Amino acid sequence: MIITNTPPDAAKHVNSGSGHPIVITSLEHNVWQILEQEIARTLERLQCLRLRDSIILLLHKLITNMIRTMHRQAFQQAIESGLNIDITDKDGVFDELLQNELTTHGDRNIEQFCKKNHFRITLTFPEEKDTLIQIDYPKNCDSSTYLDSKLARAIGFSLIKQEKQIPGENAQAYRTARIIRNFAEQYSPQTSANHSQLLSHTEESDKTIAIFSKLSHGVMVFSSAGDILSISPAILNNLKLEISPVSVQILTNIIPGHFYNDVLWGLILESEDGLFENYRIRIRVPHDDSLSVLFNVSGYRHNDMTIHTLWQIVSLDHKTTHTLTEGSMLNEARVHNITRNYVPQLVEQKAREIVRLGGNALPNEECQLAVLFCDIAGFTSYVENNEKEESVIHTLNLILGRITKAVRQYDGIIDKFMGDCVMALFKAPHNAVLAALEIHKHSYDFNNLRMRAGKDLLLLRIGIHWGNVVIGNVGSSDRLDWTTIGDVVNTAARLEKSCCPGGILISDTLFKAIARGDYPEIRFSKTFQLKLKGKRNKQAVRYVQTASQPLLYDIPAPSAMD
């Protein structure tokens, strides 16, 4: 999705609360950060900020459906006008053409057609009672403009449509939808947290039994040797087995052996009372090799040494979707605690956002970012000369740790470490420069200590560029990176390689992006032209330092110039 200032001919027709309208023409541009800020502001005004995540999910479904419908209509119109044919999709030819276009080019070409023909979705936030958001959209998207009725009713919002004609849009008919708060749908004040009550033991027991009867839970009792002594019919039903002693014997044989080792003769014996919780086990459906059931099992050891277990279905999967692992969730948490530090921040942050929005895969998207590269000048020679005298890994981690701290301090994200080089991303361009200055401050202190100890100095080089990047999946199904690619990334890397040791070199594009702000702590050199490796044209660049420093790089070093 893309956010832009509304064109002058349309701006006067939009009733906007604060800031600019949000104009969306593509699903591959990330608008959710700005949209969430507006939603949070509006929900605070409506005194229901706790509904933020639910509203985001509601709007994500709505807007995604609208954009896909708009693109479908635009693609059809483009084919009909370009090829002068009337599209009828009896044989699915149109859907195949559309899918091929999206697979080959993403939605870039369709987005350009939408812009040229004034197809767009416009979001505004009127400062009106009970109104969450106003959406202006092409009339041919009307069939997809609806809310998830169950979720909308649960949180007390509804969608109201009305006709809208925007002059100067080549007579393109638009409609307007407003999402409003229905206070009558909400619970009465008597159900608020201030009126909660504690359940008695009897009430708790009754409610537990009632919940158990509603859910597809089952009970299985084992002997200490692993024989099934008793079982709920529900478990056999879940595995598509008949209710019979023969089916119980079949189940005994198909329960994986690691369950007995891990649970009956493992977890059960670890604690004095034999309690265990949240062990996951996958069992293949006996008469359908393509299906398996993943269960979550908890239980305890009874006084007579029998093991009583509660079985709950987690998922019913085909072979190709076995994505949930088996074993103790405690062990999985331990594995996660080990591996989480190896997962890029960018991936983890985006994955959490996608899950919150109801998705299950990382998308390709475009956005504006500042890309920062930082490495240690002459690090290869340093390693060759010092690996016997000091711990190179310890020294490297100390430097990288300080770089990471500065990046996080200014709301950046580490995209990756590449030996002694760091790639970091910033949504705000001035934060990238402030982080770079903080990194060099740490470097100055670090090298002061090394100089006093008579050790070689380790000077840093930093290059930063700003612009549109693509963040997407790179690799194969066996090993994927969700990373940032594009000319902005390449240019930032070239700037870092061309920077003088101890310097911060930025593109003039980045300078112009932050020049509008007031940053008295930042000092810039005069601009100069630099020939970067692999680039056809020279790049306008500047050096950056703190305002308190003497001007070090007003005239660039000869080695940095063409």
Rounded CA-CA distance 468/488 in Å is 7
Higher per-residue confidence, 215 vs 124:
124
Rounded CA-CA distance 276/300 in Å is 6
What's the rounded mean pLDDT across residues 216-226? 89
Q: Are 28 and 107 in contact (CB under 8 A)?
A: yes
Residues 333 and 457 in one domain: no
The pLDDT value given to residue 3: 34
What's the rounded mean pLDDT across residues 319-326? 53
Closest CA to 58 of 39, 30, 34: 39
What's the rounded mean pLDDT across residues 520-531? 86
Cα dihedral 518→523→524→526 (10° resolution):
110
Closest CA to 471 of 356, 373, 363: 363
Higher per-residue confidence, 556 vs 210:
210
pLDDT tier at 407, thresholds 50, 70, 90: very high
What's the rounded mean pLDDT across residues 415-429? 90
Residues 411 and 487 in one domain: yes
pLDDT tier at 9, thresholds 50, 70, 90: very low
Q: Where is the domain boundary, 337, 356, 378?
A: 337
The pLDDT value given to residue 189: 45
Domains in the chain, number = 3
Rounded CA-CA distance 314/327 in Å is 13
pLDDT tier at 333, thresholds 50, 70, 90: low
Does the pLDDT at position 169 exceed 60?
no
Does the pLDDT at position 325 exceed 80?
no
Closest CA to 505 of 444, 549, 440: 440
pLDDT tier at 415, thresholds 50, 70, 90: confident
Residues 144 and 64 in one domain: yes
Provide the 10 A C-beta neighbour count for residue 336. Answer: 11
Which of 77-86, 95-104, 117-126 is most confident? Answer: 117-126
Does the pLDDT at position 506 exceed 90?
yes
Mean pLDDT of the chain: 81
Closest CA to 371 of 496, 517, 502, 542: 496
Does the pLDDT at position 389 exceed 70?
no
Higher per-residue confidence, 290 vs 295:
295
Q: Which of 228-242, 358-372, 399-413, 451-465 has the lowest mean pLDDT?
A: 358-372
Burial letters 289-316, b for 16+ CB under 10 A, else e: eebbbbbbbbbbbeeeeebbbbbbbeee
Where in the sequence is the domain holding 58, given as residue range(s)?
A: 8-185
Does the pLDDT at position 436 exceed 90?
yes
The pLDDT value given to residue 406: 93
Whether 191 maps to a domain, the answer reads no
In sequence order, what DSSP letters do the residues of 90-154 get, joined into one string? TTSHHHHHHHHHHHHHTTHHHHHHHHHTT--EEEE----TTEEEEEEEEGGGGGG----HHHHHH
Does the pLDDT at position 290 exceed 50?
yes
What's the rounded mean pLDDT across residues 440-450? 88
pLDDT tier at 464, thresholds 50, 70, 90: very high
pLDDT tier at 195, thresholds 50, 70, 90: low
Residues 356 and 233 in one domain: no
The pLDDT value given to residue 4: 37
Does the pLDDT at position 555 exceed 50?
no
Q: Are 521 and 547 in contact (CB under 8 A)?
A: yes
The pLDDT value given to residue 132: 92
Residues 357 and 321 in one domain: no
Does the pLDDT at position 557 exceed 50?
no
Whether 190 maps to a domain, the answer reads no
Which of 324-328, 339-343, 461-465, 513-517 is most confident? Answer: 461-465
Residues 89 and 152 in one domain: yes
Rounded CA-CA distance 179/157 in Å is 6
Phi, psi of 295 (to 5 degrees): -110, 150
pLDDT tier at 554, thresholds 50, 70, 90: low
Share of the chain above pLDDT 70, in %: 81
Rounded CA-CA distance 312/219 in Å is 9
Does the pLDDT at position 402 exceed 50?
yes
Whether 194 maps to a domain, the answer reads no
pLDDT tier at 532, thresholds 50, 70, 90: confident
Q: Where is the domain boundary, 337, 356, 380?
A: 337
Size (the chain), residues: 562
Higher per-residue confidence, 104 vs 496:
496
The pLDDT value given to residue 94: 81
The pLDDT value given to residue 134: 93
Residues 162 and 50 in one domain: yes
Rounded CA-CA distance 270/94 in Å is 61
- CATH number for the domain that contains residue 503: 3.30.70.1230
Residues 324 and 352 in one domain: no
pLDDT tier at 184, thresholds 50, 70, 90: low
Residues 493 and 438 in one domain: yes
Whether 505 maps to a domain, the answer reads yes
Residues 324 and 359 in one domain: no
Residues 331 and 442 in one domain: no
pLDDT tier at 176, thresholds 50, 70, 90: very high
Whether 192 maps to a domain, the answer reads no
Phi, psi of 218 (to 5 degrees): -145, 160
Closest CA to 424 of 374, 475, 361, 461: 374
Whether 441 maps to a domain, the answer reads yes
What's the rounded mean pLDDT across residues 318-346? 59
The pLDDT value given to residue 85: 66
The pLDDT value given to residue 328: 54
The pLDDT value given to residue 118: 87
Q: Is the pTM of this model over 0.75?
A: no
Residues 14 and 113 in one domain: yes
Strand, helix or coil for residue 225: coil
What's the rounded mean pLDDT across residues 265-269? 79
Closest CA to 22 of 4, 41, 38: 4
Q: Where is the domain boundary, 337, 356, 387?
A: 337
Whether 437 maps to a domain, the answer reads yes
Whether 475 maps to a domain, the answer reads yes
Q: Are 1 and 64 in contact (CB under 8 A)?
A: no
Strand, helix or coil for residue 34: helix
The pLDDT value given to residue 273: 79
- CATH number for the domain that contains residue 257: 3.30.450.20
Rounded CA-CA distance 207/211 in Å is 6
Higher per-residue confidence, 340 vs 45:
45
